[in-house]
Structure 1
Amino acid sequence: MKSGLLKLAIGLSLSLGAVHAQAETRITYKSAKSTSSYYQMGVQIAEAVKEGSNGDIIVTVEESQGSVQNVMEARARGGDYVFTTPPVLVRLAQGGKAMFEGKGDPKFDEIRALFPIPSLTMHFVMSEKSGVTDFAGMEGKTILLGKGSFGAREGEKYLKLFGLEGKVDLAEVELSNAVAALKNGQIDGFVTAGSWPAPNVIEAAASTGVNVISLSDDQIAQSKRAKLVIPAGTYAGQSEDITTTSLPVVAFTTTAMDDDTAYALTKTFWEQKAKMGEGAAWWNGVDQGLMENITGKIHPGAVRYYQEAGIDLTDAQK
C-alpha cells in the first residue's frame, strides 16, 4: 500500500511539474554587448517580468553585437524572440535601404513593437572652467568624441552642422577616460550618448562641475533627431532643463509571438516600470510620451493592453 501511495505521489508531482512547464512562457531578449547599459536594462527587465508575472514568464537575456544584428535575426527567430533597436532601423530593413540593401526579407514586414525603453540621449558636456555654455563657445576648445560609437558619429555630425568642423581640437583619448581627462584639464569637454542620467556625466558633474549644453529648436530640427528634455536637477549643479536630442529605442518582436504573450509582456513591463526606476533612474525617463517615437506597427497583443490602459495610439501604430 505504501508503495502504491508513493507511486501516486510521484505521479502527481510529475504531472504538476508538467503543467507548470506548459504554463511557463520563455522569452529570449536580445539586447546589446554585455558591457553596455542596455544589456543591464535587459537584465532588469528579465527580473521585473519574472516577479511581475509570478514566474509565468521567464526572460533570458542574450548578448548582441548591435541593433543591426538584432533586426537581421528577426528573419529566422520564432515567437519567443524580443529584441531592441531604434525604430528607424526597422523602417530601413523593411525598405531594404542603407545597411539592409540587398538583404531584404518578407520577415522584416512582420516586425511589431511592444514598448519603448530609454532613448540614446546626446550629452555635450563642458567643464565649468571652460566657461562654455553653447555650441559657439566650443570653438578653439579640446573635445573628446570617442571612436566608433553612435555618440561619436552623432557628435561629429553636429560639429559639421553647427559650423564647428575644423574649429575644435579633437582629443585622442578613449571615452572611458573622459572624466579623468576632464578633471586634469587634458580636455575641455566630451560628447557621450546613452540613457539618462548617464553615469559618466553624473561623475563629472559631481567631481569637476560641468555645463551640459542645450540645443535650440532650430538645431534640433537640423539634426533630424527626436527632441528630449532632461529635467533640472538630474545632474549636480544643473538648475535648468537640458534640451537635447535622442535616438529612440524600442523593444520589438514579430507577429510569430502570440497575442496573449505580447499582452502579458507589455502589461508586466509597464506595471513594473516604477519599481525598476527605484533601482535604476534611467527608467524614470520612460513614460507614455515616448510612445509617439514608435513609428511602425505595434503587436496586436500590446495594442490590447494600451487600449485597456487608455493610452492613445495612432492609426499607423494599430
Structure 2
Amino acid sequence: MINSAVLAGLGLAASVILTSGVQAETRITYKSAKAGSSYYQMGVELAEAMKSGTNGEIIVTVEESQGSVQNVMEARGRGGDYVFTTPPALVASAQGAKGPFDGKGSPKFDDIRALFPIPSLTMHFVVSKAAGVEDLSGLEGKTLLLGKGSFGATEGEKYLKLFGLEGKVTLAEVELSNAVPALKNGQIDGFVTAGSWPAPNVVEAAASADVSVLSLSDAQVAETKRTRTVIPAGTYAGQDQDIVTTSLAVVAYSTLAMDEDTAYQLTKTFWETKAKLSESARWWAGVDQGLMGTIEGKIHPGALRYYKEAGFPLTDAQQ
C-alpha cells in the first residue's frame, strides 16, 4: 500500500512536469488583417510554420484585424506576446503622432520594434487583352475598377493623377470582389488591386479570362516613390514576361515588452522555414534579404541578434 508521503512526492513530481511543459511553450498573438484576406491566410501559414519549426515550443494564435492602423494602435496596451503587421510608414506616423495617430500619441509607440518582412502589398493593373492596352497611357478612355477604401484603391487613384489620367478614365461603380465577373462580361476593361503576389483575384482573372498585367517604366516607378518590384514571368497564366510594378513593404513587429529570446526564436524560425513556406504558398517567395532595406526604424534586439549571426545586411538606423 502506498503511503501518503509517497503520494505527495508523486503529486509534486507531476506538478513539476506539468509546470515545465507550460513554461516551455510560448504563446503569441499574431494580428494582421480581416479573416478571408490573403494576409490573414499568411498568418495561418506562419502560425503552422512556427509550430512545426519550433517543435511546438511557439504556438501562434491568429487574430482578425480591421487594418494596420488598429494593429499599431493596440501596441499601446498589449504585452510581450503581441506580434502585428503594418507598413513601416505607419509606425513612423504613430511615433510622431501624425496622420491617423494625430492626437493619439503614446510613449509606448516608441517601443515598437521590427522582427521580419512579410510579402509586400504589390500593385497590379489588370486589363482585358481585348481592350488593347499595352501600358498605363493606354488606359485613357477605358473603364477601370479601383474599388473603395483599400490601399490599392487609393494608390491606383494616385497613379492616375501622377500619370495624367485623372478624368480620362471612367471609374466603375463596382465592388472589387466583383472585378473578375465584371471583366469577363465586358462591364469593365480592367481593375486595380494590391496584394502579395500571386494575388488570388489576379490568379482567378488570368485563369478564366484573357488578361494582361501592365508594367510600369522605371521612370514611372521612380515617380511613385514606391519600391520597384518584379513579378516573375509565369506567375500568372498567360504571363510570359516579367512584370515591373511597385509595392509597399509590410513588416511583422512586436515591442520591447517581448523578451529577446522569444524575438530571436520567432525571427530565426521564420527565415529557416521560409523556403518551405514558399513551396506551399508562392507569395512567400517574394520575401528575401533584399526586403530588409524596407524596414524603417529599429529592429528588436532579439531579432537583431539573429540577423548579426546570419550575416544579414543592416543599416545603422536599424540597430
Shorter-chain TM band: over 0.9
Deviations 1:20-59 (A, max 9, x none): 1012111111111112111111111111101111111111
Q: Check whether the contact 1:260–1:301 (CA below 8 A) recurs between aligned residues.
A: yes
Deviations 1:63-90 (A, max 9, x none): 1111011111111111111110000000
Q: How does 1:7-156 map to 2 (within 5 A)?
A: 8-156=9-157
Distance 2:56 2:2 in 1: 34
Over 2 Å off, 4+ runs: 1-14
Q: Check whether the contact 2:33–2:68 (CA below 8 A) recurs between aligned residues.
A: yes
Once the two structures are TM-superposed, the CA of residue 199 in structure 1 deviates from its matched residue by 1.0
Once the two structures are TM-superposed, the CA of residue 250 in structure 1 deviates from its matched residue by 0.1
Distance 1:101 1:226 in 2: 26
Deviations 1:113-170 (A, max 9, x none): 0000000110000111111010111111111111111111111111111111111111
Distance 2:15 2:184 in 1: 62
Once the two structures are TM-superposed, the CA of residue 317 in structure 1 deviates from its matched residue by 0.6
Q: How does 1:280-295 map to 2 (within 5 A)?
A: 280-295=281-296
Once the two structures are TM-superposed, the CA of residue 11 in structure 1 deviates from its matched residue by 3.7
Q: Does 1:180 find its partner at 2:192?
A: no
Once the two structures are TM-superposed, the CA of residue 13 in structure 1 deviates from its matched residue by 2.6
User: What residue is the counterpart of 2:164 in the other structure?
Assistant: 163
Q: Check whether the contact 1:133–1:212 (CA below 8 A) recurs between aligned residues.
A: no
User: What residue is the counterpart of 1:270 in the other structure?
Assistant: 271
Distance 2:110 2:217 in 1: 36
Residue identity in the other structure for 1:289: G
Unaligned runs of 5+ in 2: none
User: What residue is the counterpart of 1:241 in the other structure?
Assistant: 242
Give aligned-pair identity as a percent. Answer: 74
Q: Check whether the contact 2:289–2:313 (CA below 8 A) recurs between aligned residues.
A: no
TM-score of the two chains, using structure 2 as the length reference: 0.96
Residue identity in the other structure for 1:259: E
Unaligned runs of 5+ in 1: none
TM-score of the two chains, using structure 1 as the length reference: 0.97
Residue identity in the other structure for 1:134: D
Residue identity in the other structure for 1:203: E
Q: How many residues align?
A: 318
Q: CA RMSD in A?
A: 1.3
Deviations 1:172-206 (A, max 9, x none): 11111111111111111000011100111111112
Q: Does 1:310 find its partner at 2:311?
A: yes
Distance 2:154 2:194 in 1: 10
Q: Does 1:231 find its partner at 2:232?
A: yes
Distance 1:17 1:133 in 2: 64
Distance 1:95 1:285 in 2: 30
Distance 2:108 2:47 in 1: 26
Q: Check whether the contact 2:131–2:189 (CA below 8 A) recurs between aligned residues.
A: yes
Q: Check whether the contact 1:32–1:64 (CA below 8 A) recurs between aligned residues.
A: yes
Distance 1:8 1:109 in 2: 49
